[in-house]
Amino acid sequence: MSKPNPPTPAVQKLIYRILLAGGLMLFALGVTLLIPGLKTRSWPTATGVIIGHRVESVYSFKRSRPAIAVRYSYEVDGARYRSETFSNSSKTLTAPAANPEEALKTYRTDPAFSSYQKGKSVPVYYDPADPGNAVLKRGIGYIEIGLLMLGMFLVGSALSERRRINKLEAAKSVPSTR
């Protein structure tokens, strides 16, 4: 059985460019999402109240899954606000369920969601420059970290491929001494 032919230099350079461009785009997207999440860490806190919830369909990986949108109200400097934004990286609470009925049951009975039941007081983190912009969970999430790590991995793979291309090109340019 013969060995497959190695990719041509043009294909190798194309692979390098695709890895580099994809990695840089994912890294930039991760940073773009990371910065607002980091800003929420310094936002002031107001006391809010959960005023309701509803089940939504959220799409991920071409599949629909149920999620809980929590509505809350809060007051800043005498002005009343309402919001449904859970965190910078997710507008909803993820309920591990296959259908909306299971999601609602999980939301109502799982201790992880007990803080977000109707009538409960919750800390609300709001943007001091725009108090209508608020979250219940501040900081960054797994999405931002995942995008940054995947972007760095692809850029590292691209640089490794570029080193390999450079070595092959250098070996071809050295005259043979036979």
Q: What is the 3-state secondary structure (H, E, C) of 90-135?
A: CCCEECCCCCHHHHHHHHHHCHHHHHHCCCCEEEEEEECCEEEEEE
Confidence bin at 156 (pLDDT 50/70/90): very high
Cα distances (angstroms) measured from residue 167 to each of 9, 13, 82, 163: 12, 13, 60, 6
Q: Say yes or no to pLDDT of 154 above 70.
A: yes
All structural domains of the chain with their residue ranges: 9-37+145-172, 44-137
CB 47 within 8 A of CB 74: yes
The pLDDT score that the predictor gives to residue 1 is 65
pLDDT attached to residue 110? 83
pLDDT at 124 over 90: yes
Residue predicted with more confidence, 93 or 43: 43
